Amino acid sequence: MATSQVQTVVSPLDKVKLAGAVLLVVGALVAFYLLAKQGPLAQWGALIIGLAAAVAVFFVSEPGRELFAFGRDATREVRKVVWPSRKEAIQMTAYVFGFVAVMAIFLWLTDKTLEWLLYSVVLGWR
């Protein structure tokens, strides 16, 4: 089943909202550094309030609503996942470690065999 991609057109008002959100982030950063003499409470307060306002403005725009809907849909899909039990997870982990150990031994033996063939038999260096 093929899904079609729908492109949404961002309205001029949404572009203004996104630009406003960016300006709020920049303003929050500028305020943070300009309020250095006022103390950390004023600095962090301005930063947090500015960033919160930027997030609020972003989520009012169409891309923000789409992002929120995507997060809601992703959460709904994650709830549908059948997660393995503890016993199954431990068994699969043991299988992976066992396979890695077998492959490591196989590769080590292959390497040593090729080393012996090349250096001892073919070149006679040892």
Question: Residue 57 half-sphere exposure, CB side, CA atoms within 13 Å?
Answer: 19
What is the DSSP-derived secondary structure letter of residue 35?
Answer: T
pTM, whole model, 2 decimals?
Answer: 0.57
d(CA 52, CA 17): 14
CA distance 66 to 9: 12
pLDDT digits (tens, 9 = 90+) for 2-15: 566 766 667 889 89
Q: Which pLDDT score, from 0 to 100, does residue 126 have?
A: 63
Q: Residue 44's closest CA among 54, 55, 53, 33? A: 33
